[in-house]
Chain A
Amino acid sequence: METLDTVVSAETPEGIAIELRPAGLGARCFAYLIDQLVRFVILYAVALPLSFTGRFGYGILLIVMFLLAWIYPVVFELSRWGATPGKRLLGIKVVMDNGLPITPAASLTRNLLRTADFLPALYGSGIVSMLLRRDFKRLGDIAANTLVVYQPEAAPKVALENVEPRPPVRPLDPQEQATIIGLAARASRLTPERMDELAALAAWVTGDAGRSGPDVTRRVLGVAQWLLGRR
């Protein structure tokens, strides 16, 4: 059975498949609002001193407004973060379809086409496009072959309960090892009953197949300790 997920896979020139996790409406909407706020603050900070310089200042202000509208996202997207301040705050960034950093041409294209996304009003087309496409692209992203993705985040550190390490009854393949360790890492956030239930599913690693209970759970957690190198 096909299982549903939001990830799109891309292939690097070396033939390695990587998974990109495209970001949808929620994150992008708030990133945009934060960017609007940042723009507003910059504009205000520039306008205040310029207000004493008369018509010359007004001219400068118009140029600043133009730059904020069209160049602000391009500059930030081409920076080493690949994201505007709003996007960074939400943990998303812009990359090319194949996962490479965004190119200047693509950044210009996707940001110039904001006009198309904005139509008929308030980014109506962009929002509809994001809801209808499985990779959540707006029109500018389609034209520029770019993708807004979640940045990979570091897995949170977990403290494992201190149990006596014990070897499994048979060698485990890497995936089985990862599962047992994953179970131990989640132990602190599960209710004891649920933990016993899950440990019973893993009881075969300690030769306890078919049994369950707190003792079995402790032995399974012991195997996780052993797998992590505590002997």
Chain B
Amino acid sequence: MSVEDNILDIAHISFLDMIKVMITQVGAASAKGTLMRNALMTADSISAIDYPSFDDYIAAIKDATNPIARIEGQATYQGGDVFGLQKCPFAGSIKNYNDVFMGLPSSYAEFTDEFNRPGQIPRKYRVGGGAGVSPFCAVHQPMRSAFAEKITIGGKKVLIYQLGCKSGSGKKGFAQEYIDETGVPKDLVDKVLDNHMCCYSIKIQQ
């Protein structure tokens, strides 16, 4: 372990604590809405981009110029419109917090349940629905889906469906509604989550 590994990032720790404070002060539903709105506003600020082909889209993930890759890292294409993300973009934040507090706040479970509940906005962005495993999913998943609204492939719009996610403890969450809607076999999502933290599908609109 290097000396740098001992240094904590207080921005991460403060952010995670702020989520805990929001849940206490305004309730899980309002806290969830705040994080989701913020994620959607961030996504709204990026420029639209078109990739001539799906191969160009994949290449842009590999060289991390794709806007989605820039916020979450390099997802790997699993075939059949399915992508797996090996590392949660909040893994560093969680590690920093765990180093100090030896676990995430207990109120995060209430927040996660709230994120997974059916609702107009999760449905609109095809997120949650069982695929949320932590409050960070309420930032990451809508932001990715909203980024996708700025992306076209061969001039055609794309939609992202969150299919599943895995928590740091290894517990898997599945969005059955979106799995059914995309036609991706649940077994495949399960298999992808064996080696990845996040699984989603990209559908090019015809």
Query: Do A and B truly interact?
Result: no
A-contacting residues of B (Cβ < 8 Å)?
Answer: none
